Each structure stands twice: as C-alpha cells, then as structure tokens.
Amino acid sequence: MECSSVTTRGAPPAKLRLFATALIIVVADQVVKRVVVNVLELGRPVDVLGSFFRLTLTENTGAAFGIFRGGGIWFIVVSAIASIAIVAFAREIAKMRRWEQVAFGLILGGAVGNLVDRVRLGAVVDFMDLGLGHRRFPAFNVADSAITIGVVLVAFSFLFLQKHISAHVSGVPEAPEAQPERRDG
C-alpha cells in the first residue's frame, strides 16, 4: 500500500508554507522593532550607508510608508480584514505555485506584524530610511517590506500568469494550447 504523503516528503505542505512564511515575518518584524526601539532615539537618524541608508526611529499612524497618517482604527480594521481574507482563502492559496504561497505568506506576515504594533502601541514602528539629502523615501519596516514584496509577486502573477491562477482557483484545468493539425501526404 502506497502512502500519499510519500510524494511530498521533504517539502512542507502548502498551507504550512503559507503560515510558516507569515510567522517568520511576524517574528522577524517584532524582534527587529523591539531592538530598534531599545537602541535608537525617536527621530534621530543613524547613518548606515552614509546618509543614503540610515536608521531613523519613527512612529507611523498611517498606512505603509507613512501615507494617510492618523487613520487609527481604520487601519486596524483593514489589516484585520486582509489577514482574515488570506487565512480564509488558505485552501485556494495552497493550490497555487510555491512562490505564490510564499507571496501571500509575506503579505499575511506583514499585515499581522503591523497590526500587532497598531493594537499594542497605537502606531507602527518604522525605522528604515532611504534617500539622498532632503529627498527621502518615507521610513518603513520589515513588515512593510514583506507586504510590498508579496504584493509585487501577486500582481506579477495576476498580470502575467492569470490563466494559471484561474485554473487553480476554479479547479478547472487549463486547456491545452491548440496544435496545428498534421496532414500526411
């Protein structure tokens, strides 16, 4: 008698990949934020790669990269809904490619990481600061980075590989591409 789990030995099940990725991001995000809060002074930049990349502790009451500041409860609700939606669709996500599962794990982990800050602190801890001179990109964190990478991967998949995703979600296999008929003769 053959066991079906033998075929997946050595590879984590798809849902585990999704949730393990999310857990790794949440833990990394929270650990790094805790260190940053304990080491840096609020608003005082520390150069890492000259002034191009520096660490500057900030508190963000808005969305990713500081947009829509002061959103308060609205961002808690949006983060919670996004997280719940990904968990609710975990079975469908598990049917996707491995890198797509990881992409959704990055989004889930980032959303939860920032949600923890919003609930615990009332704001998100940001600290990565990029730019030249006075032209600076808004400060961000590990969770923001994970969300951004995850969204870019999902968008790429949606825009360029939509046919494949639709087949996975609907359960209908992709139709083989039409081959020209061969005529002998």
Cβ atoms within 10 Å of 69's Cβ, excluding its own:
12
Q: What is the pLDDT of residue 3?
A: 42
Q: How far apart are CA 13 and CA 62, in angstroms?
A: 35
Cβ atoms within 10 Å of 97's Cβ, excluding its own:
15
Q: What is the pLDDT of residue 1?
A: 40
Low-confidence ranges of the chain (pLDDT < 70): 1-12, 62-72, 162-185
Angle at 15 between CA 160 and CA 100, to 5 degrees: 15
Tell me 11's DSSP state. Answer: S
Joined tokens for residue 50: 């000259």
Q: How far apart are CA 35 and CA 73, in angstroms?
A: 26
- Residues counted in the chain: 185
Q: What is the pLDDT of residue 168?
A: 56
| Residues that are catalytic | 126, 144
Q: What is the pLDDT of residue 174?
A: 52
Cβ atoms within 10 Å of 185's Cβ, excluding its own:
3
- CA-nearest of 16, 131, 10 to 65 is 131
Q: What is the pLDDT of residue 8?
A: 45
